Amino acid sequence: MKRNIKGYTLVENQYGEITDREIIQDAKQQCKDKGMNPAFLPSHPDRLDPETLAARREKYKEYIEVTQMFVRKFLSSGSGNPVTITLTDDDGYVLDLAGDPAIIETVRELGIGEGLGYNEHNGPSSVHLCLQHKRPFRLVGEDHYHHILQRMACYSAPFRGEDGSRILGTLSLMTDIEHEHPHLLALLCTMADSLEREMFTRKQNTQLQTLNQVLMDTKYHGVIITDDSGRILKMNDCSLRLLCPDDGDRSNYVSRPIFEIPPISRYYEQVIHKGKSCIGAELTMELGGDIHHYMLDVQPVYDREGNLIRVIGTLRDITEMKRTEEVLRNTEKLVFAGQVAVSIAHEVRNPLTTVKGLLQLAHRDNNLRHYDLMMSELERANLIVGEFMILGKPQATVFKLEDCGGILEEVLQLFEIQTELNDIEITRTLEQSATIRCDRNQIKQVFLNILKNAMEALPYGGHIHVRLDVWEGYQRITFTDNGTGMTEDVLSRIVEPFHTTKPEGNGLGMMIVHRILETHDGTMTIRSEAGKGTSVEIGLPIQDM
């Protein structure tokens, strides 16, 4: 419990009540007991060396700057009181003096200056008593032990850190006793409180500036900040790169309305005019001929009165994430297709084999009409079932050295029956056949799928040309038709599972071709133009015999 009696603070503790006066008297008595002579200048043996002083001043640099600012304001207010303000650290060492030059000169003549340490060895001082009792303290006139100091009035107030508990140092005011007034201690306490608030504000501002800098410097998010009317205040390089790739100068956009950037303008309008935040809006834009996907967040910032002061938008490129999602979707499709494929194989292949066997037996006895056509269609149905089998239950690949021309010739002979029925002419240029290491059945599957696609692209007849040659260590097989061709969009998705433009297609043929070629270290190049036809070029590594 504290109360004032005749200008001095009264402190109540478990031993009773002890006043500032009693504390001062006790300190002076200790000086007498030590044999100090009050007629001489107080000795100040405890001083910091220049290097240590410089280090501590650097630590308290901002506190010194703020204190000097307060002193300048105080002196410029025209109070007329000659004062000096001293800042010390939590050990009582003087780190800075500021104020009236005449008073500072007097203080220095008394041996008080930067690096001096106030403690019990140099007599009672407001600084030492303030730190010792952790509260403001003042010494006026005869409160000082040494006679030369009795013409001074000294006041000290502690300042604390962020948590308000630990004392970081003191602010002290010294003036001539003629200008002594109890209000000076109150003024000093106010200055200490202002110092604490200013330092807290500075730290907050520093943290905000750091966060702002990190936010604006990021290479992965575009950031655009506007005022309450939509005028652009800040935008980082990433936002410029994402939205305006042809313009690398941010100054062309700062201070301009955000509404002049069409892809995101309407989301800022919602925030500014309707107070409606935008979280996770997906945008699709074409940049440099490529389609890019973005995720946009636009949120308002309000002051304490609830007034809109800023609008912050962040833009992230999610193109790769979209591509990954597409891969995952395709994977899910394949898993499902695999489950279906096993079921289809069991349900269809067995009766298909039975029908084929019975048909061969009947043809041997009765020479059936259209036998070749029926067998061809059964073989085609068997191939379709085989595609599902490969998808659902991949079989072990058996590699052997094979003559590529021989495999191609087998497939062409099998396929010619169907092409004749559909008024399609097949021509071949077999320049050079080479030995390849492959699974014969899988390579036949590749050729059959490509030829089937070519035939389906010629619903009213046409021409398919097959070329076999060698090029740069690869056996090259090129299939060219003059059919309907494909658009760029269809061509870009041709190996995706279940992507088909045919009413009766299953979208698995080219995906299986692609998979088989991957296991054979082969290549595939497709060129197509809508209305003009398609060319599929297959490359398979040649094996030396």
Over residues 500-524, the pLDDT tens digits come to 555 454 556 787 888 889 889 999 9
- Cβ atoms of 391 and 508 closer than 8 Å: yes
pLDDT at 246: 65
| pLDDT band, residue 332 (cuts 50/70/90) | low
Give the per-residue pLDDT at 508: 66
What whole-number distance in Å separates Cα of residue 233 and Cα of residue 224? 8
pLDDT of residue 6: 36
pLDDT score at 338: 64
pLDDT of 212 over the 70 cut: no
Question: When comparing pLDDT for 51 and 343, which is higher?
Answer: 51
**Is residue 392 scored above 90 in pLDDT?**
no
pLDDT value of residue 538: 93
Selection from 301, 278, 279, 294 nearest residue 212 by Cα: 301
Greatest mean pLDDT among 65-79, 346-360, 442-456 lies in 442-456
Q: Which residues of 505-543 are buried (b: 16+ CB within 10 A; e: fewer)?
A: eebbbbbbbebbbeebebebebebeeeebbbbbbbbebe
How many Å apart are CA 93 and CA 86, to the nearest integer?
10
> What is the per-residue pLDDT for 377?
75
Instruction: State the greatest distance between any 2 C-alpha atoms of the chain, in Å, as a whole number.
Output: 146
Query: Does residue 236 or residue 542 have the better pLDDT?
Result: 542
DSSP 465-533: EEEEEEETTEEEEEEEE-S----HHHHHTTTSTT---STT--S-HHHHHHHHHHHTT-EEEEEEETTTE
Contact 176, 149 (CB under 8 A): no
Q: Which of 398, 382, 389 is nearest to 343 (CA)?
A: 389
Task: Give the count of alpha carbons within 13 A of 43, CB side only.
Answer: 8
Q: Provide the pLDDT confidence category of residue 290 given band limits of 50, 70 and 90.
A: confident
pLDDT at 336: 67
Number of Cβ within a 10 Å radius of residue 303: 9
The model's confidence at residue 422, banded by pLDDT at 50, 70 and 90, is: confident
DSSP 542: B
Give phi and psi for 399, each to the nearest 5: -90, 135
Q: Are 115 and 47 in contact (CB under 8 A)?
A: yes
Please tell me which residue, 233 or 417, carries the higher pLDDT value: 233
End-to-end CA distance of the chain: 105
Q: From CA 494, how far away is CA 486, in angstroms rounded? A: 10
- Please tell me the predicted confidence (pLDDT) of residue 3: 42
% of residues, the chain, pLDDT over 90: 24
pLDDT at 208: 61
Predicted pLDDT of residue 203: 81
Quote the pLDDT of residue 13: 41
Tokens read off for 217: 């410097």
CB distance 60 to 89 below 8 Å: yes
Give the β-pairing of 424-430 and 462-471: parallel
Q: What is the pLDDT of residues 128-161, one digit of tens each?
A: 999 999 999 999 999 999 898 899 899 999 999 8
What amino acid is encoded at 480 in this protein?
T
Higher pLDDT, 310 or 10: 310
Buried b (16+ CB within 10 A) or exposed e, 427-436: eeeeeebbeb
The model carries a pTM of 0.45
With cut-offs at 50, 70 and 90, classify the pLDDT of residue 464.
very high
Return the axis-axis angle of helices 61-76 and 50-59, rounded to nearest 10°: 80
Instruction: Answer for the pair 502, 455: CB distance below 8 angstroms, yes or no.
Output: no
The number of angstroms, rounded, from the C-alpha of 287 to the middle of its chain's C-alpha atoms is 21
Q: Is 120 exposed, middle or buried (0-12, 13-18, 19+ CB in 10 A)?
A: middle
Strands, E assignment, 144-303: 152-160, 167-176, 221-226, 232-235, 278-287, 290-302
Give residue-wise pLDDT tens across range 106-130: 888 888 889 999 888 778 899 999 9
pLDDT at 227 over 50: yes
Q: Would you state the pLDDT for residue 207?
A: 65
